[in-house]
Amino acid sequence: MKLTAAAFLTLTTALAGAASAETWDMPMAYPANNYHTENAQTFADAVKECTGGELEIVIHAGGSLFKGDEIKRAVQLGEAQIGERLLSAHANENAVFAYDSIPFLATSFEASEKLRAAAEPVLAKVLEEQNIVPLYSVPWPPQGLYFSKPVESPEAMEGTKFRAYNSITARVAELAGMVPTQVEAADLKQALATGVVSAMISSGATGVDESVWEDMTNFYDVNAWLPRNTVFVNKDALDGLSDAARTCVLDEAAAAQTRGAEKAAELAGGFVKTLADNGMDVNPPSEAISAKLQEIGKTMTTEWLENAGENGKAIVDAYEAQ
């Protein structure tokens, strides 16, 4: 058989592409239909297209490949090449990871983006020491309090079994006289159903993802902070890409960051409405609860600044300078 020059070129290009094609596993902790996960799927599709199939990113949602609390370590060790994690859940390694969960520091989507930009250089430096490169991060909607009963006074919170997702949420609970237990979102429904926990602080998004109205009755829109999911890559895996493929990854990550923040803001109000539509009482917090939370927030800001040292100060200074 005789090949035309053009057909020959197509064939050799396809073979070369096939030879260098690479697949990255991307463990994620939240459900496939959560907007963070959908955004990552769009990112993966765009990377595949941009690299002409040289790099395929396969998403494993809902903690199916690695559980939420295992994802960061898996990427560090190269057991997965890329992953998404609530970085603040690793504040025990380094307090700076909780920069996005300081109560009442940044309480709007706009402020959250400013805080992200302020933290970026510090995070990149700290993560590089762990062989990780941060690619993009996307906010959760503002955090509110969920309870299984109306809670109008600080006293009514005392003794409540509280689901925490990082050390910051555990500390909020402690300072409010509650009893925290760390539970991944993927295990939340079971923890609520079995009475391991009966309250939490989270966004409307997670309340809807986990249909928490089956076990809890009240949502108080306290707007405490907007934590972020961060997508990061193993440094060796990123360095191992061709220059063109690496550029695709970095460009598509920047696009995913913008798209994700817009999506979060667009969906936030609807999540809270869905909670109400399913029978939850949605209210602002009482004045007494607000005052207590502000007091807790002050204590925690001081504690975080102490723990995060120079790096923490650099983030807050850069944020306030904007």
| Contact positions vs ligand PCA (CB under 6 A) | 86, 140, 165, 185, 202-203, 205-206, 227
Cβ neighbours of residue 139 under 8 Å, at least 6 residues apart?
Answer: 100, 109, 112, 113, 116, 226, 227, 228, 260, 261, 264
Q: State which residue has the least CB distance to ligand PCA.
A: 203
Residue closer to ligand PCA by CB (options 227, 285) is: 227
Q: Which of 183, 185, 189, 196 is nearest to 215 (CA)?
A: 189
CB of 284 to ligand PCA, least distance (A): 18
Q: Alpha-carbon torsion 99, 105, 108, 110, what sign? A: negative
CB of 124 to ligand PCA, least distance (A): 22
With contact defined as beta carbons under 8 Å apart, do 322 and 118 qualify? yes
Residue closer to ligand PCA by CB (options 48, 189) is: 189
CB of 23 to ligand PCA, least distance (A): 28
N residues, the chain? 322
Residue closer to ligand PCA by CB (options 36, 259) is: 36
Residue closer to ligand PCA by CB (options 39, 234) is: 39
Q: Which of 246, 273, 26 is nearest to 141 (CA)?
A: 273
Rounded to 10 degrees, the C-alpha dihedral 154/156/161/165 comes to -40
Residue closer to ligand PCA by CB (options 118, 205) is: 205
CB of 182 to ligand PCA, least distance (A): 10
Residue closer to ligand PCA by CB (options 206, 257) is: 206
Residue closer to ligand PCA by CB (options 86, 275) is: 86
CB of 117 to ligand PCA, least distance (A): 20
Residue closer to ligand PCA by CB (options 249, 264) is: 264
Taking the C-alpha atoms of residue 255 and residue 81, their distance in angstroms, rounded to an integer, is 20
CB of 89 to ligand PCA, least distance (A): 8
Give alpha helix (H) positions in the chain: 5-20, 35-50, 68-77, 109-128, 154-157, 167-175, 188-193, 204-209, 235-239, 243-277, 287-320
Neighbour-count burial for 207-244, b at 16+ CB within 10 Å, e otherwise: bbbbebbebbebbbbbbbbbbbbbbbbbbebbeebeee
CB of 138 to ligand PCA, least distance (A): 11
Taking the C-alpha atoms of residue 86 and residue 177, their distance in angstroms, rounded to an integer, is 25
CB of 151 to ligand PCA, least distance (A): 19
